[in-house]
Copies of this chain bind each other. A is one copy, B any other.
Amino acid sequence: MQNFSYFNPTRIVFGKGSISHLFKLVPVNQKILMTYGGGSIFKNGVYDQVKQALAGRELYEFGGIEANPTYETLMKAVTLVKQEGIQFLLAVGGGSVLDGTKFVAAAALYEGEDPWDIPSHRGKIGKVLPVASVMTLPATGSEMNGNAVISRKSTQEKLGFGDVRLNPVFSILDPETTFSLPVNQLRNGIVDAFVHVMEQYLTYPVNTPLQDRQAEAVLLTLIEEADAILSDPPQYDARANFMWCATQALNGLLSRGTVGDWATHPIGHELTAFYGMAHGETLAVVYPSMMRFKKDAKKVKMLQYAERVFGLRGLPEEEMLQQAADQTEAFFRRIGIGTRLKEYNVNAAEAAEKISARFAERGWKLGEHEDIDAEAVRQILLNAA
């Protein structure tokens, strides 16, 4: 096991009816900005619940944060925050709203010239405004970590950044808020949570048996609960289990003392930036191809995964590795997500060119062996045609 530190000061308030707790969680006598997305919170009653819990507070609003929140939109929120002297940010929605709000929290107090420095890692995060969330979409894990990913339209970029000071002060997770989610968002969320775990788990062994089993716990639960999560009418417990899986998948615990991969996410981000594919869709396409491409380097963990997650035993090694990737892809397909670029009308050859050029330009060599470079990306995308 490698040395590590762990500090996660986010308070989680979980369960039906928990939005009412905002009343005591949000600081009094402060100017609060409630941020949200395209307006689904008006339809599912979440907006009303928040307003009711915060009746009498000095509450400002900023709506219209997109899926894959853009720098362009978020800078308008930054202006509002500065103008009104906002002191506390409350993101109400999914991971995109929360990620965007984390950017606002850092950008509003950024001392450099252009806050885009933060996602592009040209400038350091200084002071930040406190952020909290009412999380309505289980997927990103943003509700219990300090990470965020935002996009910039003008340059077709999508980049991530993180800081423990951007951990939400609290996150409220009420599984009932997921009841009105469209099925494609649930599917994408399942894939997102699943691949978050894989990025931390499927590398090479450094003797972390507990973290391995904690990772497998999330994977097995997502697989076993998938049908119930997607069922209509919605089942409370299945949604609750999904929500908690998504949070546990990326609150930092699974990666303690291990080596991380995290090559699939940046490739996926480029697919979103260039082609507008949903985040979960990009992962469903890239990850099985990544597994096949790296099956030798990932062999030990991949055999363990095949056995413990899919119950495979006694097959020849090569067959086990093949099956590990095939069954992962089959799981994504089973829940209704396309796993090939053509299903999204993306030309694989073109995507391979464009995205490997980006990797070359930035000099990126990612993955646990730092060998996912431009050429590797080309192969992985061509194989995902």
Contacts and interface: CB of A to CB of B under 8 A. Distances in A.
Interface string A191-221: 0000000000000000111110110111011
A248 interface: yes
Contacts of A209: 220-221, 224-225, 241
Contacts of A6: 11-12, 14
A11 B17 contact: no
Contacts of A17: 3
A15 interface: yes
A211 B5 CA distance: 23
A82 interface: no
A24 to B, nearest CB: 11
Nearest to A171: B6
Given A3-B14, A209-B224, A224-B209, A244 B257 contact: yes
A241 B1 contact: yes
A17 B1 CA distance: 14
Nearest to A239: B1
Interface string A53-74: 0000000000000000000000
Interface string A1-36: 111111111111111111000000000000000000
A245 interface: yes
A343 interface: no
B241 A14 contact: no
Contact of A221 (B2, B15, B210): B210
Given A1-B237, A257-B244, A213 B210 contact: no
A240 interface: yes
B213 A217 contact: yes
A218 B17 CA distance: 32
A213 B224 CA distance: 12
A294 interface: no
A207 B244 CA distance: 12
A9 to B, nearest CB: 5
Contacts of A7: 9-12
A256 interface: yes
Nearest to A7: B11
A276 to B, nearest CB: 32
Nearest to A5: B13
Contacts of A13: 5
Contacts of A12: 4-7
Contacts of A240: 1, 207, 257
A31 to B, nearest CB: 25
B8 A8 contact: yes
Interface of A: 1-18, 207-211, 213-214, 216-218, 220-221, 224-225, 237, 240-241, 244-245, 248, 253, 256-257
17 contacts: A3-B18, A4-B14, A5-B12, A5-B13, A6-B14, A7-B11, A14-B257, A207-B241, A209-B221, A210-B217, A210-B221, A211-B244, A213-B213, A213-B218, A214-B214, A240-B257, A253-B253
Shortest Cβ-Cβ A-B pairs, 9 listed: A3-B15, A213-B217, A7-B11, A207-B237, A6-B12, A1-B240, A210-B221, A9-B9, A209-B221
